[in-house]
Structure 1
């Protein structure tokens, strides 16, 4: 097993997990990309010492964990305590991306209209109401503010960056929105430099070894801000050159005493892959198209001894859940016991919610 893979399995809690509480795990990771709302729960579960879907659902229901757009304009899980400072740190970049996308689809929305819709959304959700995107859209349509099918997505994203809305309690299998101030308790405000330092600390504790470019990619920060963030915690970072690349490793990183065999069924958009700009340490270039495509969609993959070696998917056969696997290289050899343990862990996690 490569040194990078060995260390990342440890820091990302994929081997020897240290947490049983979903909120504590998300806090450790800083943020967990949650593009796929269902499978993102497994991204949390696979990193707990006891994977339990019910515990994750409860944390989301109570608002201990929120699903929001932070850093890059993508869905992430963050803890309630981290939500505000992460929003403030990334708001302007997300607003710019939001406006740019609106223009690309022929909808140039003025800031005045964005702000007007935010006030309406705030009014609609007052009183601890948790409404789906469709329910909010219907009320905005009655006000004559929705004229394009893409508007509601743009307005809600803007309202997130303004710190007005956050994820609410699910209605069935649909996410809702709620008012941030009604959903979560007040938290200590971080100044920008404190927020930059905190973001760097979370990333390098939970994602080491990682390069400057990896951190820029994950955080969405400018190169200048990323360097500044790292400078605030440089006394806690070790620098090591591995395969002609400089990596930062947080001083708290404790690798296993020896390499051990491991097999993980990773969900799509998992942090083990998506949180690094350079993925060559764990994924061969000739197989990248099987792990993710050119449009940024990541697939469920199998990690064996830290290397991404195949794909997996759920299937229902004769009313029973089965997991189908395929390997990039036909000659890939995996111990049947490891395969069975990985399948059993996922099935136990999934069935806990039924």
Structure 2
């Protein structure tokens, strides 16, 4: 069995018999200097989508500003060759899809005619995506702040001291919200699940215990049963579409159980998680790398290794974003608004 190193981020494992970096099934057709430089970054699936975009934007900016960068067909080269692996491995994540969409819009407005104009425009766009806490990549801590407002319109808000919160695996946004609650003296107890094949829940548990919180760690199989023991459910997501959001496998069952028991649930997500085209999809690599679930499965066994799923928006009680709290219906309207603005 392959074990995740305690210092490793989520999904940094490599299958037995390989030497990092492992590019699995997602090697681009043409690998140039930028694509080659990005390989190690793109294989670290533990990076938050925002941190990933910032790193890629910085590398792309350097590549575009390099004296050796050829102005001929620079837009096509950047999007379809140098960033092909980014799209294939991480394009399902909201912030990544929005970043790539922004570059495509630049290419649609500036002629790719061999002049430096497009290269300069793309470089300027990449520079915008490097800023921390900008409107393009908002501060994740603001989601938790919205949830902790006493007297807010939804029962999922206004955490009281000593409450028990159920969390499914790793989420940077949820981690920040819990730490904010701790800083405010609310001292919640956290029940954390394994979090799929990467055991991202261990990473979260280590972080929260270091903050002085009481943490209980459970099997993913115990998630649904654990709902009856908690005061609320907090979940993260990588992408939100018009009708669904993407979560770890098991999220749907947890939210359905929370509805049955009238346990308040919240999905914490910054506005960059809204996908530009309103669609959601699970990552292809999760199906293409069955070793995450079973290494060396015998011939004849089909390993269904997809560890993410799309969950209908209406299953969550509230969505805590950097722009405020939204019920499912309001979030649907917000997603449509995001879709319209992303097309401009």
Q: TM-score, normalised by structure 1?
A: 0.30
Greater relative contact order: 1 or 2 (C-alpha under 8 angstroms, separation 6 or more)? 1
Higher-strand-fraction structure: 1
